[in-house]
Amino acid sequence: MSSCYHCKKTGKTFNCDACKQSLCKECAELTETEIRAFELKNRRMRFYCKKCDGAITLIPQLVALVNSLQTQINELKSNIKANTSNKITSEEEIFAEINDRLHRSKNVIVYNLSEFQSDDLNTRINKDKESVSNILNSMNLPLYEFKSIRLGTAKQNSKPRPLKLIFKNANEAMEVLKDRRKAPNDIKLNYDQTILQREKYKMVRQELQTRLSNGEQNLAIRYIRGEPKIISKSNKKIAIKITRCFIGALKDAVPV
């Protein structure tokens, strides 16, 4: 004999197979058939109080919820690993881009410089150096020492290949680029740009064409702090001053 957990009456009770609490037949709402089944010595039928019976019906839903949460956790773990890998890749790409720019900082690219026609490589190199020296002299620049390399494959009846000048340090290259507007009209001097820089310039140029097609006027591309920007031509002088200040700051920052 024990007391009912619900009504506190003492008498015959039945223990819930889940929570083990004792309930009388009235509180358990058991039929006579159910009582006889529960009183069997080797009973197989389970008895659950109302509270536990309601909870048991939720078990399949809880299992499904747990499985769903486990799947989400696994996906989050995979995303974290992927994001971490992407972050490392991004950092590596950033460092690679910085190193590439530093490596190219002592280079200058010359466009529209005629190529001397000769089968002898040394003769062509010497002629290129002679032509560049004349250009630097016309710009009132010192005759810096440099190496020269023609870019691309030579083709007959085509325009001259770009010529890459490799100076001893970035300062000398910057001195040349700072006064590049003094070069002869048909000669163009430019930075040795990375692939990323060329792609950025291409995007800015496409944006410029779109804006001009839409009716905007007096727009031009100018390099500000080393990046191509679309500005009004009325601000051209200001942009040139900013660019020159930026080049001057780089000269102080880049080791020789």
Nearest to 108 by CA among 32, 171, 21, 65: 171
Please check whether the domain covering 106-192 is classified as CATH 3.30.70.1820: yes
Q: Which residues does 193 contact at the CB level (< 8 Å), separation at least 6? A: 104, 201
pLDDT single digits (tens) 189-239: 999 999 888 999 999 999 999 999 999 888 988 877 778 889 887 655 555
* pLDDT band at 86; cut points 50, 70, 90: low
Instruction: Round the average pLDDT of the chain to a whole number and report it.
Output: 83
pLDDT computed for residue 256 by the predictor: 46
H-run or E-run covering 167: strand 163-167
3-state helix, strand, coil in the chain (%, to 5): 55, 15, 30
- The domain at 2-57 falls in which architecture? 2-Layer Sandwich (3.30)
Phi-psi region of 140 (alpha: psi -120 to 50; beta: other; left: phi over 0): left
Q: Using CB atoms within 10 A of its CB, is residue 182 exposed (0-12), middle (13-18) or buried (19+)? A: middle
115, 161 in Cβ contact below 8 A? yes
